[in-house]
Amino acid sequence: GESVGLHLPTLSVQEGDNSIINCAYSNSASDYFIWYKQESGKGPQFIIDIRSNMDKRQGQRVTVLLNKTVKHLSLQIAATQPGDSAVYFCAENPMGDYKLSFGAGTTVTVRA
Amino acid sequence: EPEVTQTPSHQVTQMGQEVILRCVPISNHLYFYWYRQILGQKVEFLVSFYNNEISEKSEIFDDQFSVERPDGSNFTLKIRSTKLEDSAMYFCASSLTGPSNGYTFGSGTRLTVV
């Protein structure tokens, strides 16, 4: 399953399929990006990050892609599991700044 | 694994009352933050705190808000006279240096103003 275009608020994906969540960021000065997972009633949990000098970074079952030309970030989750159901946020951090600016979030629902 | 602890998990208050939200950041962290999330919306930055002073604040963080690190372990957010629109989840976060070094969020306090 894939969220088409820049952002969709919800994504439904079959268990075992791959998920792609997209995010557009706004600040050209941002040089650090993070994907967070938020489960109901909990705070944002770090998934993976990437710096602007990279265009791809892989973790366990997750990959982040960064396209600075169009200011686009994506998160790919391989073999999506029921435990992946959550809201996913991208966040950007401008160089020299200490705050994170969050995107609107995508709710991922995994169908059994 | 070290974590950021927030209390209470849920606070209900009357409009116009003062509330204090409490956070215990990770012990060796130096930077502290408050964020809020109105139901169904994105997480928004409120304030960052370093070396016992505010280093940055957003437009949301007006004169009704204040932060304090009263001792070596707690970090508090005070809202002096709560309004209905202050109802939200409030998240505390801390980091060792900047966002790329151990930036960790707590589980949040749900504030309901009635």
Give residue-wise pLDDT tens across range B62-83: 999 999 998 878 999 999 999 9
Q: What is the pLDDT of residue A4?
A: 43
Q: Mean per-residue pLDDT for B30-53? A: 93
Higher pLDDT, A55 or A1: A55
Task: Using alpha carbons, select from A107, A87, A91, A89 the residue that is nearest to residue A26.
Answer: A91
Summarised one tens digit per residue, pLDDT across range A22-63 is 999 988 889 999 999 999 888 999 999 999 999 999 999 999
Q: What is the pLDDT of residue A6?
A: 46
Task: Give the confidence band of A14 by pLDDT, cuts at 50, 70, 90.
Answer: very high
Residue A5: is its pLDDT beyond 50? no
Residue B36: is its pLDDT beyond 70? yes
Q: What is the pLDDT of residue B100?
A: 76
Closest residue to A104, CB basis, from B33, B42, B56:
B42
Closest residue to A32, CB basis, from B91, B100, B104:
B100
A41 interface with B at CB cutoff 8 Å: yes
Question: CB-side exposure of B21: number of CA atoms within 13 Å?
Answer: 34
Q: What is the pLDDT of residue A2?
A: 59
**Cβ distance of B105 and A44 shorter than 8 Å:** yes
A26 interface with B at CB cutoff 8 Å: no
Cis peptide before B8 (omega within 30 of 0): yes
Q: What is the pLDDT of residue A8?
A: 60
A1 interface with B at CB cutoff 8 Å: no
Gap from B82 CA to chain A (nearest CA, Å): 22
Q: What is the pLDDT of residue A97?
A: 84
Q: Mean per-residue pLDDT for B95-101? A: 82
Residues in chain A: 112
**Cβ distance of B105 and A32 shorter than 8 Å:** no
**Cβ distance of A34 and B103 shorter than 8 Å:** yes
A46 interface with B at CB cutoff 8 Å: yes
Q: What is the mean pLDDT of chain A?
A: 90
Higher pLDDT, A43 or B87: B87
Provide, as residue numbers in chain A, all residues whose Cβ is less than 8 Å from the Cβ of B4.
43
Task: Using alpha carbons, select from A56, A63, A88, A90 the residue that is nearest to residue A78.
Answer: A63
